[in-house]
Amino acid sequence: MFRYDRAVLERYPTIHAGVVHLEGIPDAPASPALGDRYRAAQSEVAQRLVTTPIAALPPIAAWRRAFAGFGAKPTQYRCAAEALLRRLSRHGELPSVNALVDIGNLVSIRYALPVAVVDLAGVAAPITVRFATGSEPFTDLGGAPAGTPEPGEVVFVDREEVACARRWCWRQSAQSAARPGTREALVIVEGLHEGAEADVAAAREELVALLARFRPASRVTTYGLSARQPAVTG
Element (H, E) at 46: helix 32-49
pTM equals 0.96
Sorting pLDDT into bands at 50, 70 and 90, what band is 83?
A: very high
Domain hosting residue 180, numbered range: 2-232
- Among 103, 97, 94, residue whose Cα is nearest residue 215: 103
SS3 content of the chain, % helix, strand, coil (to 5): 35, 25, 40
Sorting pLDDT into bands at 50, 70 and 90, what band is 27?
A: confident
d(CA 157, CA 2): 10
pLDDT averaged over every residue in the chain: 96
Contacts of 134 (CB under 8 A, 6+ apart): 148, 149, 150, 151, 152
**CATH number of the domain residue 206 falls in:** 3.50.40.10
CB neighbourhood size of 12 (10 A): 20
pLDDT at 177: 96
Question: What is the number of domains present in the chain?
Answer: 1
